[in-house]
Amino acid sequence: MAAQGELQVQFKLVLVGDGGTGKTTFMQRHLTGEFEKYVTTVGVEVHPLVFHINRGPFKFNGWDTAGQEKFGGLRDGYYIQAQCAIIMFDVTSRVTYKNVPNWHRDLVRVCENIPTVLCGNKVDIKDRKVKANSIVFH
């Protein structure tokens, strides 16, 4: 909570990518510091992510979306009014990286040109299929 007179900046952040890429674990790790067993997200979960910078608290309302295609019809509704995004892929799965352009296309269709970060996850696992020098995103 911001002190009286202190500006608290808030942004709607959508976290997208294929199922099983670690979106929920990423969110939980920031919220609790814990690493939890994989549980499939159904629909969307919204969590506050607060970061403290030199100008005070900086809050993202993180929308952790289901990555499964069966929820595709609902996804556009979650993207509406998003101000920034993280597209996540799993470096141990080429297909999750190959699907990045599809996630980006959907975001741009709904949100136009919002700031977007590409995040390769699971870099601690040795069986890496997507090498750092092969990652490109425009």
| Beta partners for residue 14, in sequence order | 63, 85
Question: For residue 133, what pLDDT is reported?
Answer: 82
Domains delineated in the chain: 9-134 (3.40.50.300)
Question: For residue 36, what pLDDT is reported?
Answer: 61
The β-bridge relationship of strands 56-65 and 44-53 is: antiparallel
3-state secondary structure of 112: coil
Question: For residue 35, what pLDDT is reported?
Answer: 62
Question: For residue 37, what pLDDT is reported?
Answer: 63
Query: What does the alpha-carbon distance between residue 60 and residue 73 come to, in Å, rounded to a whole number?
Result: 24
Q: What is the mean pLDDT of each run of 10 residues along the chain (138 residues)?
A: 60 92 86 66 77 82 72 72 94 94 93 93 85 78
Amino acid in position 16: V
